Structure 1
Amino acid sequence: MKKSQLLLWVLALLMLWGCAGDQQDLPADAQVPLEEETKYVALTFDDGPRRSTITALLNGLRERGASATFFLVGEEIEGNEDLVERMAAEGHQVGNHTWSHTRLKGAPAAEVTDQVCRTDEKLRQVLGEGEYWLRPPYGQLEEDQKPLIPVPMVQWSVDSRDWESKNTEKIVAKVLKEVKPNSIILLHDIYPTSVEAALKIVDTLQAEGYWFVTVQELLALNGIQPQPGVLYRSGDKAE
């Protein structure tokens, strides 16, 4: 279900609620159906953009009305600017995955700053001013390096390990086994098997009542105020 459809559904409920106010009260012993809790989840993709795979993924997400978050490698953006623009235009969150996928943990401060700032500058050239959240490669950063990062950072709570198996069914099974409301799922959009798996995951979880949102939306829905230099693993406040 697309976001626009959700808004129409909510408005319809409000109208019905207003009409119900004119009706007689229900008997004390009447059973009132309880609303099911809305379940949100965030799909995230690392290491792109890669034209050979990302186009099919974006098409599939658009068809399903699902949002995602893409953490891009700066040196891969050149020549793929139109894909980055499309991500943002279609409601996806675009983030920073360093310039050359460098392991930041243990790296000198100057290298950390260069890797993050070069990609941030490239994203601003393509998309304009904004806050482009960081996913450190391998999800790792030293505690004393975190003050160097001027934006919120994103890790994950469900690791598909898609790079390891490169098997669509194994990827789907692993994610579905571990996913729960407020999960942040890690995938890589550079593998065709991961793209196929991602769309199967969306189909399955949407049928179970899940809504696919960006990481920024997931935190906001849970009342979390993201802070610079803080690493977020899921939409759960305890994380």
Structure 2
Amino acid sequence: MYLFLLNIALLFVLQFWNSKQKETLGNEVVKPKVALTFDDGPHPYYTAQLLDALKERNVKATFFVIGKQIDGNEEIIKRMYKEGHLIGNHTYNHVKLKGLSDKQACEELLKTCKVLHRITGEYTEYIRPPFGEWNHKLDCKINMIPVMWDVDPKDWRSSNVSKVVKQVVTEVEENDIILLHDYYKTSVQAAIEIVDQLQEDGYQFVTVDQLILD
């Protein structure tokens, strides 16, 4: 009788432990994802500062770079690539693609693609058209995946870090794409605070391709 009761007690403990393990695994699986994206870089100082902070927090982001900004900042692009961030195309001169002929628009995109290929050995498929203006009929004979955004605090025109942070953390939802810029000191400061707050709230950061393909 004693052995029977002991076996029942052990079985109960094992079942309880297994249920807790499943809960833990379940929480990991459903952890909400968001994508943190940055436009207009690379900046010789602020982008490097941002990369330091992201590495410390084990966060991967997506950088939509301007081709002409890469000159002299090739090492930053190499670091982005090496550290597992996704690098996207933000045209060469930050121009409205709809205001150009198809040939001119393709030149803007292809020129940046070639610069990135020379540095990383890969062409990027992901494009963020400046000002969100995209011509869906544009055919540049390369794979092009336009990437817009869900949350835009317009950090480029505000030096109020707290305001930018508050807007993002209160508006963001699961699977959202957050738009920020790595070309301004206050934007980078806000980005770091946003990462800390959202991680504390249980979000995990993924690159845009992971969000789109999942």
Query: Structure 1 length as normaliser, TM-score?
Result: 0.77
Aligned with 1:84 (options 77, 81, 99): 77
Could you say if the C-alpha distance between residues 29 and 59 of structure 1 is closer, same or farther in structure 2, counting changes exceeding 3 Å? closer
Alignment of 1:200-215 (within 5 A): 200-215=193-208
The 8 Å contact of residues 114 and 123 in structure 2, kept in 1 or not, is answered as no
1:127 maps to 120
> What CA RMSD, in Å, does the superposition of the two structures yield over aligned residues?
2.2
In structure 2, the residue matched to 1:67 is 60
Distance 1:48 1:58 in 2: 12
C-alpha distance in structure 2 between counterparts of 1:214 and 1:198, whole Å: 15
Query: Matches of 1:91 and 1:206 in 2, distance apart?
Result: 19
Q: Return the structure number with greater helix share.
A: 2
Amino acid at match of 1:151: M
Report the 3-state secondary structure (helix = DSSP H, G, I; strand = E; otherwise coil) of the residue aligned with 2:149. Answer: coil
**Which amino acid is the alignment partner of residue 47 of structure 1?**
D
- Residue of structure 2 in register with 1:152 after alignment: 145
Choose the corresponding residue for 1:176, options 169, 176, 186: 169
- The equivalent of 2:43 in structure 1 is 50
Distance between the aligned counterparts of 1:200 and 1:119, measured in 2? Answer: 30
CA distance in 2, matches of 1:97, 1:142: 14
Structure 1 residue runs of 5 or longer lacking an equivalent are 1-22, 223-239
Return the alpha-carbon distance in structure 1 between the equivalents of residues 14 and 204 of structure 2: 35
Give the unaligned 5+ runs of structure 2: 1-9
Aligned-partner Cα distance in 2 for 1:27–1:48 = 53
- Secondary structure of 1:158's partner? coil
Cα pair distance change 1:115/1:30, threshold 3 Å:
closer
Q: Could you list the per-position Cα deviations for residues 170-197 of structure 1 after superposition, in whole angstroms to 9, with x for gaps in the alignment?
A: 1101101110111100001001111000
TM-score w.r.t. the length of structure 2 is 0.85
Structure whose CA Rg is larger: 2
Q: 1:186 aligns with which of 172, 179, 188?
A: 179
**Residues 106 and 142, structure 1, Cα contact 8 Å, conserved in 2:** no
TM-superposed deviation, 1:24: 3.7
The answer as to 2:123 corresponding to 1:139 is: no
Which amino acid in the other structure matches residue 57 of structure 1? Answer: L
Q: Would you say the 8 A contact 1:106–1:141 is kept in 2?
A: no
- Using the alignment, how far apart are the partners of 1:71 and 1:24 within structure 2? 55
* TM-aligned CA distance change 1:30 to 1:54, over 3 Å: closer
Please name the residue that 2:189 is paired with: 196
